A = this chain, B = another copy of it.
Amino acid sequence: MKSTDVLIIGGSAAGMVAAVTARAHWPEKKFILVKKQKDVMVPCGIPYIFGTLGTSEKNLMPVDVMMEKNGVESLVDEATSIDTEKKIVSFASGEQIGYQKLMIATGSTPVKPKWLLGADLDNVFVIPKDRQYLDGIKEKLGSTKNVAVIGAGFIGVELSDELKKHGYNVTLVEKLPHILNLAFDADFAEKIHEMLTERGVNVIAGTGIKSVMGNGKVEEIELEDGKKLPMDAVILSMGYKPNTELAQKSGIQVDESGFIAVDEYMRTHTPDVFAIGDCAQKRDFVTRQRVATMLASTACAEARIAGMNLFNLHVVKTFSGTIAIYSTALDGTGFGTAGLTEQRANEEGIESFVGVFEGVNRHPGSLPTAHKQIVKLIAAKHSGVIIGGEVIGGTEAGELTNVIGLAIQNRMSVNSLLTMQIGTHPCLTASPAAYPLIKAAEQISNKMLKLMK
């Protein structure tokens, strides 16, 4: 029987980063990473293979190269059971591998809801991180015309825009009142909705899908409001569920939401077994509630924490909980969100103050590359602690969102932002006199001052 010091199950972002990070900390240990498929997709790049990238070939994550470079043995196989007493994993090929430390990074699978009539018709697709399946969608979509994308989270929005670019007639359907409803407040979501519409996507929000109809394959969809739309294909982007069957049947504790229970260092309740990425339990940084955040960036952060602390606590973690930080783009317009939205804060019973500043991402605004920039900050009403932020701007929006994320992680208050030091440049940022984070913080500070009078 084969044996190793460190065994990693899963070769997407979390598995890969865990292997590389742990290897740097424990170079004397032997590592094996087992992935289900040879080719691994860049997870966030998947919507772009349908348009901008044009092919899955251009969206490969260089896992094998990275493993070889870092001296990690990489195998293609599927784990079928874990004996946590004997510390042995069995694989579909019949192989067994003994481990000293095990990292489970089995990811997530797209949801195909059971209540959805017609979900098994031909040309109804989901978006897994599976190259062959994705190539299959591209092929089958081929000559079709009318495509419905169901669920307007980030993947749904990106996919709709990319398919539209590629010439399809795209209808994006969202059950919640607004697209991107969990990531952005209504005021921001409406702006993105408007942009998508201008770009030619038919956006329907506030009513979900009821059923898919057709003789063998998709011909029509029916919405909850009774409307029927002729359709050639349906892509479901209705969320993902953690892949935790393997853990569950091996006696590793899984919570009631289906995530593997972990502590702050990504240790499961079973000795020497870690879980990271989409399959691992997360708690929100602010509310301390369990959340189902599934982001490659979060997965990588967890992988680094687990990797650095595999055999003992090398790097003490300086924060607790997950800050959901997302961004996306429609060509030159970037959108980002970090932490809680105002709506979510409200739902969680957190009284908040918000500041919204509209400006431009260049100074003077007469520069030819100038783009409108809007920043919303959300702070706890009484302490002024920043709990969230949203950004619309140019392509700087991604890193500007990271500035907000870092402010949240450092538990900064609006007052700290007011005195914050920044760098600015005409061709790269807003003016120092109208830097959007500071101007939004000022609005909150003024509301707090009034409250105190």
Contacts and interface: CB of A to CB of B under 8 A. Distances in A.
Interface of A: 13, 16-17, 20-21, 24-25, 42, 44-45, 48, 52-53, 58-61, 285, 295-301, 304-305, 308, 314-319, 322-323, 325-329, 334, 336-338, 363-364, 366-369, 394-403, 405-407, 409-410, 412, 415-416, 418-429, 431-433, 435, 438, 442, 445-446, 449
A410 B419 contact: no
Nearest to A424: B297
A326 B432 CA distance: 11
Contact of A53 (B367, B395, B423): B367
Contacts of A446: 24
Contacts of A426: 42, 44-45, 48
A406 B433 contact: no
Copies in the complex: 2
A419 B318 contact: yes
Contacts of A48: 367, 426-427
5 contacts: A297-B424, A297-B435, A315-B419, A399-B402, A410-B412
Shortest 8 CB-CB distances between A and B: which pairs? A398-B428, A325-B423, A399-B399, A297-B432, A58-B366, A300-B432, A329-B427, A327-B425
Contacts of A20: 433
Contact of A59 (B322, B364, B429): B364
Contact of A299 (B334, B395, B432): B432
Interface centre among A304, A314, A336, by most B CB within 10 Å?
A: A304
A352 B402 CA distance: 26
B336 A395 contact: no
A263 to B, nearest CB: 14
Contacts of A419: 301, 304-305, 308, 315, 317-319
A364 B17 contact: no
A412 B370 CA distance: 32
A424 to B, nearest CB: 5
A334 to B, nearest CB: 5
A364 B42 contact: yes
A174 B442 CA distance: 41
A326 B422 CA distance: 8
A296 to B, nearest CB: 5
Contacts of A61: 364, 433
B21 A323 contact: no
B432 A296 contact: yes
Nearest to A54: B366
Contact of A423 (B21, B60, B401, B415): B401
A421 B322 contact: yes
A405 B402 CA distance: 12
A420 B301 CA distance: 7
Contacts of A329: 425, 427-428
A315 B418 contact: yes
